[in-house]
Amino acid sequence: MYAEMDDFYQRMKNRLKQCRKERNDLEEILAFYDKVLSAQHETQEETPLPEIDLAEEQIEVRIAEGFPLIESGNFSVDSNSSDRLFRRLCQISETENPVLASAGKALLAALDSGTLETAELSKAVLQNRVETIEGYAKDLEVPLPVLQALAKLSIQPSLLATVAIVGKSSELNKWRYGYCPICGGLPAIAALVGEEGKRKALCSFCGHLWWLPRLVCPFCDTESQEDLRYFFGEGDDLYRVQVCLQCKGYLKVVDTREGGDLMALAVDDVVTAHLDLLAEEEGYQRKAPRLWGI
Give me the pLDDT at residue 294, please: 59
Q: What confidence score (pLDDT) does residue 293 get?
A: 64
pLDDT band of residue 55 (cuts 50, 70, 90) is: confident
**Do 34 and 15 lie in a common domain?**
yes
Q: Average the pLDDT over 67-89 and give the result.
A: 95
Q: Is 288 a domain residue? A: no
Residues of the chain above pLDDT 70, percent? 98
Q: Band of the pLDDT at 290, cuts 50, 70, 90?
A: confident
Cα gap 53→8, rounded to integer Å? 25
Do residues 141 and 209 both lie within one domain? no
244-269: per-residue pLDDT in tens? 999 999 999 999 999 999 999 999 99
Q: Are both 106 and 205 inside the same structural domain?
A: no
Q: What is the DSSP string of 162-206?
A: HHHHHTT-GGGGG--SSS-TTT-PPEEEEEEETTTTEEEEEESSS
Q: What's the confidence (pLDDT) of residue 142?
A: 97
Chain segment 144-168, per-residue pLDDT in tens: 999 999 999 999 999 999 999 999 8
Domain that holds residue 267: 175-281
Under 8 Å between Cβ of 143 and 105: no
Q: Is 235 a residue whose pLDDT tops 80?
A: no
Residues 85 and 217 in one domain: no
Cβ atoms within 10 A of the Cβ of 279, count?
A: 22
- Are 237 and 133 within one domain? no
pLDDT digits (tens, 9 = 90+) for 207-234: 999 999 888 999 999 999 999 999 987 7
pLDDT surpasses 70 at 2: no
Indicate if the pLDDT at residue 48 is higher than 90. yes
Bridge partners of 255, per DSSP, are 192
Total tally of structural domains belonging to the chain: 2
What are the C-alpha distances in Å from 202 to residues 54, 87, 117, 182, 277?
Answer: 22, 27, 30, 12, 20
CATH code, 244? 3.90.1670.10
| Pick from 85, 76, 86, 87: nearest CA to 158 | 76
Alpha-carbon dihedral sign for residues 221, 225, 226, 227: positive
Q: Please tell me whether residues 158 and 183 are part of one structural domain.
A: no
Is it the case that residue 278 has pLDDT exceeding 80? yes
Confidence at 276, pLDDT banded by 50, 70, 90: very high
Same domain membership, residue 267 and residue 161 = no
Q: Looking at residue 246, what DSSP letter applies?
A: T
Task: Assess whether pLDDT exceeds 70 at residue 1.
Answer: no
176-205 confidence digits (pLDDT tens): 999 999 999 999 999 999 888 899 999 999
CB count within 10 Å of CB 53 equals 6
Report which residue type is found at 236: D
Cα gap 157→178, rounded to integer Å: 24
pLDDT for 291 beyond 90? no
CB 216 within 8 A of CB 247: no
Q: With a cut of 70, say whether residue 54 has pLDDT above it.
A: yes
Q: Which of 108, 134, 166 is the last residue of a domain?
A: 166
